[in-house]
Amino acid sequence: MTTFALKNVSEEAWLRFKSESARQGLKMGEFFERLLDEHSQSSRGSRAAWDRVLKGRPLLTDEDSKEMKKSMKDIRREFEFRT
């Protein structure tokens, strides 16, 4: 087992970390590894979600998009908004 120093952690955050690891019934090292694993999984899930949004199938057809753009222009013109 290796010991590391963790800098710039407030006393309050450190006490919360220790308390939460005890509440989970884990040693602090185990709890730290679990947090890292969960964070990595949620980051991958978030990336995958954005990939589906940005690279997935478009929700509107080109025709629908053009019609919507024209409607918005008409509405902006009718209410004298900048176009």
* Segment 20-72, tens digit of pLDDT: 999 999 999 999 999 998 888 887 778 887 888 788 888 889 999 999 999 99
pLDDT class of 74 with cuts at 50, 70, 90: very high
pTM for the whole structure: 0.53
**Residue 62 phi/psi, 5° resolution?**
-60, -40
> Please, which residues have CB within 8 angstroms of residue 60's CB and are 6 or more apart in sequence?
68
**Tokens standing for 67?**
């019609």
Q: How far is Cα 44 from Cα 71, in angstroms, rounded to an integer? A: 38
Nearest to 32 by CA among 42, 41, 20: 20
More confident residue, 29 or 1: 29
On the 0-12 / 13-18 / 19+ scale of CB atoms within 10 A, 47 is exposed
